[in-house]
């Protein structure tokens, strides 16, 4: 009896000590995050001090009241989408708010109100990277809001939404081969620009939901919250951890299985050049090489995709395969 009581008491005492230790660690972690948050900019002046090209590439600093007016007080029917960061609304930048540019539709990305260290860092990364980079295949950052707890980004409006929506929507018309190759070409040019810049940038969040399309299906990379400076000078690499959404698996991966090449083509694709399809598939295969050093550079991907740009009217003059979707 005494032995049993003694063991029970010891176990209970151990659990109590262990719980106290975990609580102490949690409190220390919270204190550390608070200190880290204090080091991040809390107003526009501090943000501009961190930006490398604030003088040559100015951004508009908006007040939160101006954003309310632009989005009709963030009306639900103005919402374009959302995610772990918060919500995106369609707004309208009118001349009474900003005289330097004509009235244009914009996308207003509102980060959620938890004001976490990670959320603040990702918001700041977008301001810094998109505020200094300019390329036809990168979404344009117009301005931002850094007021009290509000962290907001204002982008150019991309009328056709994301590639993901266009590929999997049951409402939109299927994208033809020529448009898909145009999108792939544009996205590759955007990545090549980042990799070959004077100060290279590692994007770290390349997926169909982050590739946006303008009215003419020109592809532009968006969401630079996970971007990081790449190697410079004699350095060949930088250390980085695995990034992206935890537990995420691309829908394309889940919806497909091992098949013959022509069997994996989208059944809604319609006419497409067989040789072009085979070349595009082989290019994707090389990009997935298990040995990173054996993968092609993005500038080489761009060169390989350029010959695959086919005008729709040319398709009928080449060897094509027609796929008919199941009804």
Domain ranges of the chain: 44-156, 163-239+250-323
Task: Spell out the per-residue pLDDT of the chain, length 327, in tens.
Answer: 444 554 554 555 555 556 667 776 666 555 555 555 555 666 777 677 666 655 557 899 999 999 999 999 999 999 998 876 789 999 998 766 555 656 789 999 998 765 567 778 888 888 988 888 999 999 999 999 999 889 999 999 999 999 999 998 889 999 999 999 999 999 999 999 999 988 899 888 899 999 999 999 999 999 888 888 877 655 555 555 555 566 666 776 777 777 788 888 888 888 889 899 999 999 999 999 999 899 999 999 999 999 998 765 555 445 555 554 544
At 242 the pLDDT is: 56
Select from 132, 160, 305 the least CA-distant residue to 219. Answer: 160
- Active-site position among 72, 112, 114, 205: 205
Structure tokens at 282: 């082989």
Given a contact cutoff of 8 angstroms between Cβ atoms, the answer to whether 274 and 262 are in contact is yes
163-239+250-323: CATH topology is Transferase(Phosphotransferase); domain 1 (1.10.510)
At 225 the pLDDT is: 84
What is the spatial distance between Cα 73 and Cα 84, in angstroms, rounded to a whole number?
21
Query: Residue 21's CB: how many other CB atoms inside 10 A?
Result: 10
What is the spatial distance between Cα 157 and Cα 111, in angstroms, rounded to a whole number?
17
3-state secondary structure of 79: strand
What is the spatial distance between Cα 50 and Cα 286, in angstroms, rounded to a whole number?
38
Given a contact cutoff of 8 angstroms between Cβ atoms, the answer to whether 230 and 198 are in contact is no
At 9 the pLDDT is: 46
User: Regarding the domain with residue range 44-156, which homologous superfamily does it belong to in the CATH classification?
Assistant: Phosphorylase Kinase; domain 1 (3.30.200.20)
* Residue 109 is labelled as binding a ligand: yes
Catalytic residue at 49?
Answer: no
At 100 the pLDDT is: 60
At 261 the pLDDT is: 82
């Amino acid at each position: 009896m005494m032995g049993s009581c003694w063991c029970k008491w010891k176990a209970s005492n151990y659990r109590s000590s262990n719980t106290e230790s975990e609580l102490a660690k949690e409190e220390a972690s919270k204190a550390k995050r608070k200190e880290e948050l204090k080091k991040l900019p809390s107003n526009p002046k501090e943000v501009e001090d961190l930006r490398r090209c604030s003088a040559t590439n100015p951004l508009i600093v908006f007040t939160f009241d101006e954003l309310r007016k632009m989005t009709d007080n963030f009306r639900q029917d103005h919402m374009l989408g959302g995610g772990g960061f918060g919500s995106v609304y369609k707004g309208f930048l009118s001349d009474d708010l900003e005289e330097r540019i004509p009235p244009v539709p914009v996308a207003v990305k509102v980060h959620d109100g938890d004001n976490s260290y990670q959320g603040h860092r990702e918001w700041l990364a977008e301001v810094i990277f998109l505020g200094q980079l300019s390329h036809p295949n990168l979404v344009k950052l117009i301005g931002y809001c850094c007021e009290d707890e509000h962290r907001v980004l204002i982008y150019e409006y991309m009328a056709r939404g994301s590639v993901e929506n266009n590929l999997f929507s049951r409402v939109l018309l299927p994208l033809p081969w020529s448009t898909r190759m145009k999108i792939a070409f544009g996205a590759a040019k955007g990545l090549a620009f980042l990799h070959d810049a004077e100060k290279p940038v590692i994007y770290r969040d390349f997926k169909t939901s982050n590739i946006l399309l303008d009215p003419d299906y020109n592809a532009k990379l968006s969401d630079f919250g996970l971007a990081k400076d790449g190697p410079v000078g004699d350095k060949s690499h930088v250390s980085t951890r695995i990034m992206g959404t935890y537990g995420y698996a691309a829908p394309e991966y889940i919806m497909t299985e091992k098949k013959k090449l022509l069997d994996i083509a989208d059944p809604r694709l319609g006419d497409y050049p067989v040789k072009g399809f085979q070349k595009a598939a082989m290019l994707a295969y090389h990009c997935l090489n298990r040995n990173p050093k054996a993968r092609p550079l993005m500038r080489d991907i761009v060169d390989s995709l350029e010959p695959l740009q086919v005008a729709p009217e040319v398709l009928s003059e080449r060897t094509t395969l027609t796929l008919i979707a199941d009804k």
